[in-house]
Structure 1
Amino acid sequence: MTSRHPSRLRPALVGLALIALVFQCWALYSPSAGGSQPFPHADKLVHLLLFGGVAWLFLLAGARRAAALGLSAIHAVVSEIVQWQLIPTRSGSALDLLADFAGIALAWLARSSPPRSVHQPS
């Protein structure tokens, strides 16, 4: 079975991906605590990890690449619009969206690269 055309989904990983998605939604849509960041632009790293992690887990679970990456990208856009328009303590940001897309791209790259072979001495 190849990672490009999995024959079936892996239920445990689908469950883990869904838990990650719930956490992602909680992090994105809960009112902002307004606390200080440990370093400048730490929120961009959080966006990259949230979107990249969820996309990667769905790909690892055997979801179709177009579905996992496409829905992640759509969610990235929707999340920034929702934060900008509907959550008074949040703001949408083009830089956050860029970080979301970077995370999704890294997930795609991580699942697209050929597996490393382990060289065993003869």
Structure 2
Amino acid sequence: MAVVGQLLALYWPVVTVEGPVSWTDKVVHLLVFAAPTYAVGRALGSVWPSVLAFAVHAPVSELVQHHLLPGRSGDVWDAVVDLVAVALGAGALVVRGRLRRW
């Protein structure tokens, strides 16, 4: 479900994110990359395939938005936040794995 939500958020033709602060869009990017990274890694039982897939998807999604989706624009800072989110999702998986062994 997290992956479906991510794909909808990233590839829907026009997305307007409104919120009380100007960085709400970045919070959405954190959520749509951290949650799927965690969910897929947990489902696969391995961190690295999930990290690799979503780390590649982060810049690709911004390029697709910029070049192929009318009404959307790619943003380098969104890609940076996406990569930070992938690292956070992976970190949560590693911590979860270590806590389970403890």
TM-score normalised by L of structure 2:
0.86
Sequence identity of aligned pairs in percent?
35
Q: Tell me, yes or no, if structure 1 residue 45 matches structure 2 residue 33.
A: no
- The 5 A counterparts of 1:1-122 are 19-34=1-16, 36-113=18-95, 114-115=98-99
Matched-pair contact (CA < 8 Å) for 2:58–2:82: yes
- Which of structure 1's runs of 4+ aligned residues deviate more than 4 A? none
Q: Distance in 2 between matches of 1:117 and 1:67?
A: 21
**Segment of structure 1 superposing worse, 33-42 or 22-31:** 33-42
Q: Distance in 2 between matches of 1:65 and 1:35?
A: 30
Q: Specify whether residues 63 and 80 from structure 1 end up closer, same or farther in structure 2 by C-alpha distance, changes over 3 A only.
A: farther
Q: Distance in 2 between matches of 1:116 and 1:48?
A: 25
Q: Distance in 2 between matches of 1:82 and 1:49?
A: 19
Give the CA deviation at 1:44.
Answer: 0.5
The structure carrying a bigger helix percent of its residues is 2
**Segment of structure 1 superposing worse, 102-111 or 32-41:** 32-41
Q: Specify whether residues 90 and 36 from structure 1 end up closer, same or farther in structure 2 by C-alpha distance, changes over 3 A only.
A: same
TM-score normalised by L of structure 1:
0.73
Q: Distance in 1 between matches of 2:45 and 2:68?
A: 30
Q: Distance in 2 between matches of 1:56 and 1:45?
A: 16
- Equivalent position SS for 1:39: coil
Give the CA deviation at 1:117.
Answer: 8.9
